[in-house]
Amino acid sequence: MASTGFSIPSGCDVCGEVPHSPSFEVIAIPAESPEPSPSPCGGPPAVIEFDNGTFAGYRVNGVGCDADVDEVHATEVGGSFSIFVSMVYSSVDEAPDLDAGQAAVVFESMLATIGWTGAPYPVAPADAWYPIFPFETFSDVPQLGTEPVLGTGCGADGSIGDTIPDGIWSGFVDAPAAGEPLSVDLVCIFTPAAAAGVIADGTASILIPDGADAPDPDFLLVNNNERERTVPTSPDLQLRDAVFQGDACVEGPFIPEADHTIYQAWFNIDGGQATWVVWGCDSFGFDPSEPQPQPQPQPQPTAAPAPTVAPTAPVDAEEARLLADCTILQFTVWEGDQFIGVEYPADGEPFTDSLREAIAVTRDFFSFEVPQMQSQLAIGAFAQYYAEWDSLLQAGIYTSTNIGAVTDAGLAALAPLQAACS
């Protein structure tokens, strides 16, 4: 199902985007709980329960400001997507072709035909996962801060207090229960250039992986202070375990049965919350008397409509972030008509309340997706889209061309991201 565009009556300079009547629109989106909202024009709309055996939700009649509109918001019964269906059967600019009774009959007939007729709507299997680690292998994290260590830092210079700042950090991390914070013991992984001096100094508490007889100067772990810190977790916290692929340690699915306390991990903090944790392949302090989960065949990552490379080609950080972003965006509805029933002012006049609200809703249309984006392409595209609509909102004056121009500019801002994820 896709949104069906409305045409604007020629010569209409006040009605703006009020469509010809009768007009019909269907939009399908990932499942949400349908809740009635008040009419932007005041006055309670008539809300009726809706259930045709395929979709269940509510129906609203008479929600338009300058048009008579019948709407249904419903979710597939036992399914995973929702629909928004609307019909404009008269407007201030045209005499109605149908009276309310005739329009209701037409609308009812159309509703009876709506159903999912294509392939089953994709639902990720229970063991599906997608990549979140922005580097090709577990040891590829570069120096990201001022300390001579991999990642953002480790606090060896005494710069980290009770709160760990945003960044990518290394440590020993307990696997948290759902909704619980992380318990973190930061460790330093010195750069190869700094590792030789640390080893020669002889005072650092160097950690040697189980099975090795000497420290690795290319990935030197030091834990001089076992202080535990607490990190709040994001509601969408992602957990992964790395696995060996040949000689390379690469991201794999989370193994809940593993004892994660003996594996060094990378974890990301964004906005003061941990958003992902990836535990490594090497253990430190393994007790052979303790039973450990046996290796199992690893499921492949969930396919995502993002650019891919040959298995032997390196994947840089931006490509990995874009892959994760495209996985999140694969069911995103990129367009929505927020202007049905909006009251438009005369050319050159300030926005009406309903028009201002519609512009604000359009500006914030991707507020769910934006906080989850990691790639520069996605972050930049959504930032430009927001800026286009926000500049219009701040201007506050309606013209016969500015909404159409901003609509085009917003779509152009998103086009490169859509192309990359197609």
The per-residue pLDDT for range 271-293, each reduced to its tens digit, is 999 999 999 999 887 544 444 44
Give the model's confidence band at 28: pLDDT under 50 very low, under 70 low, under 90 confident, else very high: confident
Query: CA 400 from chain center: how many Å?
Result: 34
**Where in 52-179 does DSSP place strands (E)?**
55-61, 67-76, 81-91, 167-173
Q: Which of 398, 343, 389 is nearest to 366 (CA)?
A: 389
Residue-level pLDDT at 79: 67
**What does the pLDDT average to over 100-106?**
71
Give the model's confidence band at 99: pLDDT under 50 very low, under 70 low, under 90 confident, else very high: low
Residue-level pLDDT at 294: 42
The per-residue pLDDT of the chain, averaged, comes to: 78
Beta carbons of 414 and 365 less than 8 angstroms apart: no
Residue-level pLDDT at 92: 59
Residue-level pLDDT at 332: 79
Length of the chain in terms of residues written:
422
Q: Does the structure show a pLDDT above 80 at 382?
A: yes
On the 0-12 / 13-18 / 19+ scale of CB atoms within 10 A, 53 is exposed
Domain layout of the chain by residue ranges: 1-122, 125-301, 303-422
Residue-level pLDDT at 89: 66
pTM for the whole thing?
Answer: 0.46
Residue-level pLDDT at 165: 93
Give the whole-angstrom CA distance, residue 8 versus residue 342.
13
Residue-level pLDDT at 185: 94
Q: Which of 306, 253, 305 is nearest to 279 (CA)?
A: 253
For the CA atoms of 391, 396, 401, 407, the dihedral, rounded to the nearest 10 degrees, stands at 40
The per-residue pLDDT for range 181-201, each reduced to its tens digit, is 999 999 999 999 999 999 999
Low-confidence winner among 8-17, 286-295, 343-352 (lowest mean pLDDT): 8-17
Q: Does the structure show a pLDDT above 50 at 47?
A: yes
Beta carbons of 103 and 37 less than 8 angstroms apart: no
